Amino acid sequence: MTKLISRLLVLGALAALPFGAFGQDNTIKVGVIAAFSGPFAAYGEQIEAGMKAYMKQHGDTVAGKKVELITRDTKGPAPEVAKRLAQELITRDHVQFLSGFGLTPNALAVAPLVSEAKVPMVISNAATSIITTKSPYITRVSMTIPQIAEPLAQWALKNGIRQVYTAVADYGPGIDAETQFTKTFKAGGGEIVGSVRTPLQNPDFSAAIQRIKDAKPQAVFVFLPAGEQGIAFMKGFNERGLAAAGIKLIATGDITDDHVLQAMGDPTLGMITAFHYSSSHKSPENEAFLKAYEAANGSKVGDPNFMAAAGYDSMHVIYEVAKKLNGKIDGDAAMAAIKGMKWMSPRGPVEIDPQTRDIDQTVYIRKVEKVNGRLANVEFDKIENVKDPGK
């Protein structure tokens, strides 16, 4: 009797096999794990909108297969949730790629799973250096915070800035930014005249800004989460006359995020930031991206920012791998195809570093200006081929 049952089971398993394989034959499934609701909802929306823009422009079939996005909502920084969602996507939906990942904790939680399942994971945002070291199946098309802070410090030194005050939000990315900026700036002969870390929930910057004003540095380096914190700091900075006192404000570009820049308003004018992508970047690739973004998403998701551009590039990587492997996605072959991949992104020339699987790219120095009545991060200087200095 038990023999019969086990035989039936084997038969059943055999019967099920071809169907599973058949399902995989016609589609390439991409699991997109990100926050689509809660305070980080804009992350997921932007990444998905960028992916859709790529599919609008290049069609939704590649190497004879239909590409299908399966989005899953982590609702915010929730490692356990991200891990469970990844598990479901891998075992139940049989996705060939995982992508998305706006936040570092979520990306880190999924790393062991993709190592085990050999599913390539294309990170569209999470910006902590170590992520790509956690699994050989992880690649990243966005950036790391040190990768932006280092060239900014070099640019400041080159432009005669010697004394800087640092002001960062007191959390992981803020401390990463402060550490890298301080290291590069001091190594180049600059002096950090003071530093302040502000609490992550901080509605009032008056005390920190007054301290900076009293210290009279040549410039202040700022890293704050985009949104109301950046706005509050800028308003305080202008209101207290720091700009009038000749103090420059330099920051990494997420503070003048293209997606929220219009809402931040005129206080941002003149702000100098370093970043890898600006939606006002002048190139045919970027124009094509902006057009596809508009066509694919309409106006509901708002202005595209660096996360949308990274979503777009994530799809580029996935399409290129599919083409190279003729639609038969295998984890190891896919990673081999990704290493050293070069292309013209909407942001400029980029390459996936064969050693670290992180992205090497140009970092631009930009200034907020009014272009045709709208605020824009206008690029005026650049540092080419910047690798992540965190590794």
Sites of contact with another protein (CB under 8 A) = 37-39, 41-42, 45, 170, 196-199, 201-204, 206-208, 210-211, 214, 227-229, 231-232, 235, 238-241, 259-260, 262-266, 300, 302
Decide whether 210 or 355 has the Cβ nearer to another protein.
Answer: 210
Decide whether 79 or 302 has the Cβ nearer to another protein.
Answer: 302
Distances (CA, A) of 215 to 169, 175, 194, 204: 19, 21, 8, 19
Long-range contacts of range 154-158, CB-CB < 8 Å, 24 or more positions apart?
A: 154/184, 154/188, 154/383, 155/274, 155/365, 155/381, 155/383, 156/185, 156/190, 156/219, 156/221, 156/250, 157/185, 157/188, 157/189, 157/190
74 within 8 A of 35, measured Cβ to Cβ: yes
Write down the least CB distance from residue 207 to another protein, Å.
3
Write down the least CB distance from residue 80 to another protein, Å.
20
| Residue 120 parent element (H or E) | none
CA angle 67, 352, 290 (to 5 degrees): 55
Write down the least CB distance from residue 81 to another protein, Å.
17
Decide whether 47 or 121 has the Cβ nearer to another protein.
Answer: 47
Decide whether 2 or 299 has the Cβ nearer to another protein.
Answer: 299
Decide whether 181 or 205 has the Cβ nearer to another protein.
Answer: 205
- Residue 146's nearest CA partner among 157, 135, 131 is 131
Distances (CA, A) of 68 to 48, 96, 263, 345: 12, 10, 34, 22
Decide whether 87 or 210 has the Cβ nearer to another protein.
Answer: 210
Whole-angstrom Cα distance, residue 129 to residue 149?
Answer: 12
Write down the least CB distance from residue 205 to another protein, Å.
9
Decide whether 26 or 37 has the Cβ nearer to another protein.
Answer: 37
Whole-angstrom Cα distance, residue 216 to residue 196?
Answer: 14
**Residues 6 or more apart in contact with residue 15 via CB below 8 angstroms:** none
The DSSP 8-state label assigned to residue 327 in this structure reads T
Write down the least CB distance from residue 302 to another protein, Å.
6
**How many other C-beta atoms are found inside a 10 Å radius of the C-beta of residue 127?**
27
- Residue 372's nearest CA partner among 288, 238, 262, 263 is 262
Write down the least CB distance from residue 155 to another protein, Å.
27
- What's the helix, strand, coil split of the chain in %, to 5? 45, 25, 30
Whole-angstrom Cα distance, residue 303 to residue 142?
Answer: 18
Whole-angstrom Cα distance, residue 291 to residue 217?
Answer: 43
Amino acid code (one letter) for 319: Y
Decide whether 39 or 354 has the Cβ nearer to another protein.
Answer: 39
Decide whether 38 or 105 has the Cβ nearer to another protein.
Answer: 38
Decide whether 118 or 235 has the Cβ nearer to another protein.
Answer: 235
Write down the least CB distance from residue 39 to another protein, Å.
5
Q: Is 215 exposed, middle or buried (0-12, 13-18, 19+ CB in 10 A)?
A: middle
Write down the least CB distance from residue 195 to another protein, Å.
9
Write down the least CB distance from residue 196 to another protein, Å.
5
Write down the least CB distance from residue 242 to another protein, Å.
11
